[in-house]
Structure 1
Amino acid sequence: MRHSKPMYKRFFGVLALMYSIGYIPGYAAAVDFEAGKQLQEEKLSNKTREELYREIFNMAPPEQIKEVEAVLIINEIVNGKVDVVFSEDRLDFTIPSAPILTVISSIATPEFVKMVKDKVEANGRISQHVLDGLNLTTAFDSRSDKVKITVPTIFLLKQTHYLTGGGMEDPYVVESIKPNAVSAYVNIHVNQQFQYRQKVSENLSRSDSLFIVNMNRKVRQPFYGHFDGALNVYHTVLEGSAGFQQNADPAVIRNDIRLVYDQPQRNALRIMAGDILYPTIGYQSFVHMGGIGASKDYSLQPHILTYPVGEYEFYLTDPAEVEVWVNDAMVSRMYLDAGTHDIRGYPFIAGNNDVKIVTKDFAGRKETMEFSSIYETALLAKGISRYSANVGFPSHLHDGGYDYDVEKPFVSFSYQGAVSNVYTHGYYTQAFPSKGILGYEFTRATPLGPLALNTTGSYINKIGPSFATRLGFTLRSSVFYKYSKNKGVSADRLPTPVIWNTQAEYFGPKFLKNFEDTLIRNLEALKFSSDVTIPLAGQFNVSIAGRYYLCRDTVNVTMLSLTFQKTWKNALRTSATIQHASDLNARKANSSIIFSAQWSFRAGPNDFSVGEIIRRHQPSKLDQFTTEPQPQEPQWDYNTSFQWNYDNTKSAPERVSASVAAQLGPDNNDYRGTLGYSGNQGSIELSQAMDDPTYAKGTFLQHQTALSLKTALVYVDKTVCLSRPIYGGFVVAKGIKNLSQCQIMINPTDQGYEAISNKLGPAVLPFYTSYQLKRLKLTPLNPPIGSVEEKMDFTLFPQYKSGFLLSVGAEKTVLVFGSLLDIDGSPFAYQAIIITSRDKKDAQPTKTFTNGAGRFQFMGLGTGTYLITPVEAKGRHPITFDIPVENNGYYRSPTMTFSGSGAPLPKRKETVDSVDTAPQGENIFLLGTLASMDGKVLAFVSITIVHLDDPNAQPMNTFTNKDGGFQIVCRKPGHYKIAVADDESGANAVFTIPVGTKGAFDIGKQTLKK
């Protein structure tokens, strides 16, 4: 009888063996290198790995695994998986350098990146020993198969963090889908109105009755339609609009038509031709013209910050918690690693802002840094400029179109640029041959507020030169001072800043205010205006405003107002205003007092609002029926309003909306109601209005009913469908092939979706912005089992009025079962066959095998006609068979017999079939995925599985699906080898089914190796 070793010796022996052997298939992933080094240094065992293994297990040790797949993590950034190759002594390893350099290039200095590149071996790999020599911390975690690399803070780049208003993704560095080459849309808005006058008394005069009868003869008003759209061909856009009105002359009116071509990556350039649009600044005025224009428009590069942002760098020696405070309010809390950091995109208010950054490291040390920043929306960031240059001929609407005055060419130019983050200036000009302007403007930010100056000279032929100047200053302060006997004068911060606007403006008597003016005579010579809003405690505000106009050849004008406003609980707001204005005709000043109250609240989809305005004022001159002076008493006006809106808050295009509103006043009483429905293909709304005008008191009520329909017709890549109105761009999503009968949802959520296909057409989602990445998720509703494509998430890069078509779906796979008979009618047993699709020329042939009964199975790629050819034909003719359209994902074909002159196959010993047979005994249902040597899944290939422990076992044959997955029934546990059928390269993978395994067993992803 053999005596076993003491238990404690076997236990410590196993521990020593596990440290020394490193990796055993089925037991461990890889050795921990630090533990291995420590094991050698401490000399836990003088025996070799082989000696330890033989002593403990009484058998030869397995061969060590020299390569393993592991996740690469660099400074907590995961960059996929890499193959790790160990050295013979397992004290070092190498990994590919490319994924390391990809991450390091984005976080480390260029000098350090170059140091790493110089150490890369000729085969593109780099070792742990080399990385450690570069002061990187490199470790392999055998328990989780991870390679972790840490770059010291001394080599890291400055890290930029955006709080708000920044950090938008650069669409030119993110992989995205570009718009289709050709797309188009037309928005259609049609409206039909009905008007009817209702008598309110039978005792009307003959003229009033006749008027009502005549007006009611045409209850239906002329039909009206408005159309606008765009055609995008390779990023060049033709856009335009037109109107139609029944019985009008002309019935069709052409509006603007223009070509737009954008070059967003080349200085954000936009070029227009036709009825162009262009920005104006200063004293410029918009003149409608046909011509050509070029503008630097940063809406083409929305990821670039064009306004100044606070840039505050600080260095952390250790990881720390960072709090960011703006104006005594904490706006962010972040946990940052050691290194240099730059925080941008502060939620500043206009004016001076106080910034405080508080850092707390894990040792408890605390440090506070304080800054001050001025923020003005009118400023550009340093180095940012924009311009607009346009030339053409003025146009006027005439006979349903535009007339262009080619004898009066017109030019408009403007430029704005930032000298610094606190100083922005600009130049501009506009001119006809007979008149023009030339101006200069600047905005300068100060700690108290912005100072803005605008001065312009004009010239008019036969009239002469003139000029205008406007100087403005806005004082903003969030600090108020208070006095107490104990503390004296102290300062505190207001939740809302005090804003004081002051402006002075001078107009020359012959200054050209508007290019459309034919009579130049400026009555106002000098204009002063000032207004201030003072927030007080308890949501109470006081506003004071004043205007004084010094006029030529007439009286001067004075306007003053004082307003008190209070916000109460439950969204109730009240205000009282005292106004005083001088009469333009110098007869009598007009003073008024206005009281108002507004209460609004929301309950689910219902929104209610009730308001009352009471006004005491002098009677208007227009209300008097005599021109003789007469005593006038102040009068009181009462205006009452009520409004109810219903809007389903469901996150889906299909929704019902309704509203009821009433306005009761001294001049008119209006009652209005709407009922509408919007869906994926457009919206429809029915509205009813009833007016009780003052001039018809006691005579009639005016009723108006309107039916409005809004939809859009879109085209992209031979697909035409209906949509909601399009304003910027659109994406069409539809299912094809195996998903052609499924509804496709765009961006589904728990509450709904943004668009969905239906019986009327594909799903269409309008875009409202351009040149910003748009991420979409498509989900088919109730798809066929196993037919959903892997890629259902898309990143789009919409451009100006562009369209996308996303088609999801693949050929429907059908599992085919069949039986083959040889020429003599015997089973065509244990033979390799090739199955080819005759309808799909680009489809790869499928190789498979028959079992002992001549049965076979394969995954057909869609319906259609297929051809079965034996690998060893020997005179046998191919067999043709069809997979019908009507199937439930599988099809059992009738028995098929080869024809030809070949001799029948010799009889072979029957064995247990591996395909299409009933399970026998305790079976193991094996699942797995097969990948090639480069890691890519092998789809639709025939594979052979061999039981290595049983030399008499017959090979088992099966196939993979489109995802590389396979399944087969195994009879017993042990070691197995898997390979692609008829593959002469010798590539295979070995896996183990442990003893005692029953039922389903997933062996995971098996990668072929030689």
Structure 2
Amino acid sequence: MKLLPWAIAIAAAGCVPPAWADGMGEVIQTAPRPPERLNPSGHDIPLGGPLRDGAFVLGEVDYVLTVDDRILIDMDTLLPLVEPRLSTADAARIRAATAGQARLSTDALAALGLPLAYDPATFGLVLTLDPALRPRQSISIAGSSYAVTGRLEEPARLAGYVTAFLSTDYVHQGLSDSTGFDTPTVLLDSAIRYRGVVLENEATISERFSRDGTRLVYDDVGRTARYTAGDLEPISRGFSGATSMAGLSMVRSYSELEPQRNVQPRGQRTFTLERASTVETYINGRSVQQTRLEPGTYDIRDFPFAQGANDVRLVIRDDSGRETVVNFSLNFDRSLLARGLAEFGVFAGVESTPSNDGLDYTDQVGGSGFYRRGLTDELTAGANFRVNNDGAVVGTEAVWASPIGTLGGDVAASSINGIGEGYAVNVSFERTFGDSFSAVRTLTGTFQTVSRDFATPGTLAADNRYVWEAGLTYAHTIGATQYVTTDAFYSAGRGDEPDQRTLRATYGWRASPRLQWTVEGVYEDRRNEEEYGVRLALVYRFSPFSSGTAEVDSRRDRARVGYQTSRGRGVHSWSAAANIDRSESATGVNASINSVLNRVELGASHQTFFDSDGGEITDQRTSLRAGASLAFADSAVAVSRPIYDSFALVRAHPSLKGAQVYIDPRDEFFSARSGVLGGAVSPELSAYSPRVLTFDAPEAPPGYDLGAGSAQVLPPYRSGYLITVGSDYFVSAVGQLMTESGQPLSLWVGQAIELEHPDHKPIRMFTNASGRFSVQGLRPGRWRIESSDSSSTVYYLDVPADAQGLVRIGVLRPETR
């Protein structure tokens, strides 16, 4: 039987065992075993430990172990942890029933539906909830969702960066007589974020400076809307098209503002687990995932379905071996929106055109927009428009996941000054067949017709050469190693424009894990010129990091052989490629290499072209590229590799004495490192996509307490984080506590309180059977060690001002408070 620490202490004090035997093994006397005590100390003990729900640790909870073995739980630490595990109604009921009560016993909480048991192995508590009290939960079969749990770091109030890409060519020999370096080009991308508002700019420096765009952006996350003022980047839908402009816009795009959200239709099937179970999901006959779930009620979402009809089967097995099967089918299409969800965009302003000197603003005032809504889980419809001084185009769109396949369509009408009125229609169909992922067959068809005078605003003349165009594609996988695709396209010319037709067939075969073949046959009739050809391509993988390719194309009279390789991850990783490309008129020899360093990305390439007739070099040049960023977050500045959206600047606390901080260290790899150019910068964070950053300081003083060693972020758009590794509370101390009689203070639980800052959270500490302790998270100064507020016996621990990490205190003896 596993004894509690307090029971071990009783045994060590000399308690008589319940039974003993003589030397021959005969039982002489048997006494009843005394009840096992949780707290034999004679006084209440404040404790704390992890709260666990099944296999999941919810957090730390404080409680008091009373002298009569009751457990009184601190409600301020308990309720925030258990409320997310309860349904909304039950959470409100328990919150009302416990209002105004600082502590409640486990018996009282069990009567409310919160049964909690003491776990002596961890000094924690275990929650066992009735599944009926749990909220309905969602599980992700596709595995694309990321559950954000735990504490999130706050982004810096003021953060920004300037990213620069420098490129230049050195011409060894060219078509002209000039050689040497070309004029270098610098592309600039910058952003400053202050309290949720972002100012962003793009510019180019070559022979002159040109501004390519400036705008203010504000994201209203609660309403899933982005507001922009300045140089806009309109989104086009259907036939409406888009043009750059300066003005105002409002957009809701789930892929931009909620990339982790599944906005596609999902099955509304639910199931309830009475006990922990393993759920295996089969889609169209193939097992796609096994998930271990705790008791509760679950919705099912995020199925990786093919389009059209799908057969879905859930096999639920509990720990007793009982098996339950749930069957259902669902029509699904990835371009659909779930019922009730809508996406939209509205753009209005003065149209602009790019030039060598930047943007030129015209006298055309215009606007564009779109709106899409999920009318049902099977039907999404919308409308779009674009208008300016010259005219307008309006259109509608719809997609329907029908029982026989996915049907989609766009219809538009235009009226443009000087051109006239016109219309355009596009319809498509897609159907996926097959009862398993290794024998999928997909049929896709499209048809489009555009009238002679259909045009969009800003067009000088309509150029619609074809009355109608149609295409048909069929793809078929054969087992796990082969596939076949066929394409047919036809365009019916208008007036004197000749018809065009294309036929293509492709066969692919992965002959081995290393070797893959592709054969393609093509027939084209363009402008009354017929062409036939066969393309043969081979890919051979030499290792997980390198591969070679060879390709021959008879139609274009072209051959190519190449090699590519990559090494490493994160900082100091690199990739290289080289190929020889031969055509009818020239032969080219090309090579490139790219390297990722801690503060910069570097690249170089070399191209040489030989004339096929005489073998002379016709053009030879070397291109050099470099990219870096200068970033700041609140009071910290650092140089970084190129930043494209958001970043985290991780710096070392002064107590680390100059020790370098590494981000995401794994084996001999890492993604960033601090140094003389500032803190370590993680430059690849994406807006609204959660990320956990891990960090370490291997050169920290021995015993230095880094804390959690990780930080979780959910970056807003173009944001920056400032994370400090280490703190003033970095010292670890080891020592021994003795009683007044000179005996070790065995198996004792207490807390250390900083005298200079008594409001700082006390640090819990324990002693072993010899009275020895180890406590982390101290800082230089005087600390009081006590068991409870009611005890008059305390210890005082002095951490030296020059402490570097681990301090050996020696023996501490009690003093009177």
* TM-score normalised per structure 1: 0.68
Cα contact 1:744–1:778 (8 A) shared by 2: yes
In 2: Cα distance, 1:685 partner to 1:718 partner: 32
In 2: Cα distance, 1:813 partner to 1:72 partner: 26
Structure 2 vs 1, CA of residues 19 and 274 (structure 1 numbering), >3 Å: closer, same or farther? same
Structure 2 vs 1, CA of residues 524 and 945 (structure 1 numbering), >3 Å: closer, same or farther? closer
Counterpart of 1:233? Answer: 194
Q: Larger Cα Rg: Structure 1 or Structure 2?
A: 1
Counterpart of 1:355? Answer: 312
In 2: Cα distance, 1:254 partner to 1:581 partner: 44
Query: How big is the shift at 1:358?
Result: 1.2
Structure 2 vs 1, CA of residues 717 and 524 (structure 1 numbering), >3 Å: closer, same or farther? same
In 1: Cα distance, 2:515 partner to 2:187 partner: 40
Query: How big is the shift at 1:665?
Result: 1.6
SS in 1 for 2:316: strand
1:333-352 to structure 2, matched below 5 A, reads 333-352=290-309
Query: How big is the shift at 1:253?
Result: 2.6
Counterpart of 1:159? Answer: 137
SS in 2 for 1:749: coil
The C-alpha deviation readout for 1:773-812, integer Å capped at 9, x for no partner, is: 2221221231223444425322223222222222334459
Cα contact 2:411–2:425 (8 A) shared by 1: yes
Which of 480, 485, 509 matches 2:452?
509
Structure 2 vs 1, CA of residues 370 and 926 (structure 1 numbering), >3 Å: closer, same or farther? closer
Query: How big is the shift at 1:418?
Result: 0.5
Report which stretch shifted further, 351-360 or 110-119.
Answer: 110-119
Query: How big is the shift at 1:102?
Result: 3.3
Alignment of 1:750 onto 2:750:
no
Structure 2 vs 1, CA of residues 65 and 602 (structure 1 numbering), >3 Å: closer, same or farther? same
Structure 2 vs 1, CA of residues 961 and 439 (structure 1 numbering), >3 Å: closer, same or farther? farther
**Partner amino acid for 1:639?**
R
Structure 2 vs 1, CA of residues 496 and 291 (structure 1 numbering), >3 Å: closer, same or farther? farther
Counterpart of 2:750? Answer: none
The C-alpha deviation readout for 1:29-83, integer Å capped at 9, x for no partner, is: xxxxxxxxxxxxxxxxxxxxxxxxxxxxxxxxxx465766565445555442332
Structure 2 vs 1, CA of residues 646 and 151 (structure 1 numbering), >3 Å: closer, same or farther? closer
Query: How big is the shift at 1:957?
Result: 6.5
The C-alpha deviation readout for 1:697-745, integer Å capped at 9, x for no partner, is: 4554321122222222223334333211111122222224222421110
RCO higher in 1 or 2 (8 Å CA, sep ≥ 6)?
2
**Partner amino acid for 1:196?**
H
Counterpart of 2:781? Answer: 940
SS in 2 for 1:161: strand
Counterpart of 1:385? Answer: 342
1:121-270 to structure 2, matched below 5 A, reads 122-134=100-112, 137-140=115-118, 145-170=123-148, 175-197=151-173, 215-246=176-207, 251-265=208-222, 267-270=223-226
Counterpart of 1:717? Answer: 634
Alignment of 1:83 onto 2:63:
yes
Which of 664, 672, 695 matches 1:778?
695
Cα contact 1:196–1:216 (8 A) shared by 2: no
Counterpart of 1:641? Answer: 560
Cα contact 2:349–2:365 (8 A) shared by 1: yes
In 2: Cα distance, 1:945 partner to 1:549 partner: 87
Query: How big is the shift at 1:146?
Result: 4.5
1:20-31 to structure 2, matched below 5 A, reads 23-25=39-41
Query: How big is the shift at 1:462?
Result: 4.6
Structure 2 vs 1, CA of residues 197 and 651 (structure 1 numbering), >3 Å: closer, same or farther? closer
**Partner amino acid for 2:281?**
V
Structure 2 vs 1, CA of residues 688 and 944 (structure 1 numbering), >3 Å: closer, same or farther? closer
Counterpart of 1:415? Answer: 371
Which of 19, 24, 35 matches 1:19?
35
Report which stretch shifted further, 72-81 or 549-558.
Answer: 72-81
Structure 2 vs 1, CA of residues 463 and 942 (structure 1 numbering), >3 Å: closer, same or farther? closer
Counterpart of 2:773? Answer: 928
Counterpart of 1:499? Answer: 442
**Partner amino acid for 2:583?**
G
Counterpart of 1:993? Answer: none
In 2: Cα distance, 1:300 partner to 1:805 partner: 23
Counterpart of 2:606? Answer: 688
Query: How big is the shift at 1:363?
Result: 4.1
The C-alpha deviation readout for 1:754-776, integer Å capped at 9, x for no partner, is: 10123444322102411222221
Cα contact 2:146–2:690 (8 A) shared by 1: no
**Partner amino acid for 1:282?**
G
SS in 1 for 2:462: coil
The C-alpha deviation readout for 1:325-361, integer Å capped at 9, x for no partner, is: 1122212223434442223222223333221111233
In 2: Cα distance, 1:9 partner to 1:370 partner: 59
More strand by share: 2
* TM-score normalised per structure 2: 0.83
Counterpart of 1:434? Answer: 390
In 1: Cα distance, 2:635 partner to 2:106 partner: 55
Query: How big is the shift at 1:560?
Result: 3.5
SS in 2 for 1:285: coil
Counterpart of 1:918? Answer: none
Structure 2 vs 1, CA of residues 97 and 462 (structure 1 numbering), >3 Å: closer, same or farther? same
Query: How big is the shift at 1:678?
Result: 2.8
Alignment of 1:374 onto 2:374:
no
Cα contact 1:943–1:960 (8 A) shared by 2: no
Structure 2 vs 1, CA of residues 656 and 560 (structure 1 numbering), >3 Å: closer, same or farther? closer
Which of 746, 756, 766 matches 2:683?
766
In 2: Cα distance, 1:644 partner to 1:533 partner: 29
Percentage of pairs with the same residue: 19
In 2: Cα distance, 1:814 partner to 1:148 partner: 32
In 2: Cα distance, 1:229 partner to 1:960 partner: 46
SS in 2 for 1:409: strand
SS in 2 for 1:305: coil
Structure 2 vs 1, CA of residues 720 and 438 (structure 1 numbering), >3 Å: closer, same or farther? same
In 2: Cα distance, 1:218 partner to 1:139 partner: 81
CA-atom RMSD, angstroms? Answer: 3.7
**Partner amino acid for 1:238?**
L
In 1: Cα distance, 2:609 partner to 2:338 partner: 52
Cα contact 1:74–1:103 (8 A) shared by 2: no
In 1: Cα distance, 2:483 partner to 2:538 partner: 16
Query: How big is the shift at 1:442?
Result: 0.4
The C-alpha deviation readout for 1:599-645, integer Å capped at 9, x for no partner, is: 23142543322222233xxxxxxxxxxxxxxxxxxxxx542212222
Report which stretch shifted further, 311-320 or 526-535.
Answer: 311-320
In 1: Cα distance, 2:45 partner to 2:178 partner: 96
Unaligned regions of 5+ residues in structure 2, if any? 1-14, 22-27, 733-753, 759-768, 788-792
Cα contact 1:548–1:556 (8 A) shared by 2: no
Structure 2 vs 1, CA of residues 118 and 127 (structure 1 numbering), >3 Å: closer, same or farther? farther
Counterpart of 2:287? Answer: 330
In 2: Cα distance, 1:300 partner to 1:96 partner: 39
**Partner amino acid for 2:388?**
F
Cα contact 2:648–2:722 (8 A) shared by 1: yes
In 2: Cα distance, 1:136 partner to 1:65 partner: 23
Query: How big is the shift at 1:967?
Result: 5.5
Unaligned regions of 5+ residues in structure 1, if any? 26-62, 199-211, 480-492, 616-636, 816-842, 848-923, 947-953, 980-985, 987-1010
Cα contact 1:927–1:968 (8 A) shared by 2: no
The C-alpha deviation readout for 1:803-825, integer Å capped at 9, x for no partner, is: 2222334459999xxxxxxxxxx
Alignment of 1:612 onto 2:576:
no
Query: How big is the shift at 1:301?
Result: 2.2
In 2: Cα distance, 1:174 partner to 1:325 partner: 32
SS in 1 for 2:310: strand
Report which stretch shifted further, 414-423 or 125-134.
Answer: 125-134
**Partner amino acid for 2:260?**
H
Cα contact 2:398–2:409 (8 A) shared by 1: yes
**Partner amino acid for 1:154?**
A
Counterpart of 2:251? Answer: 295
Query: How big is the shift at 1:454?
Result: 0.9
SS in 2 for 1:102: helix
Aligned residues: 756
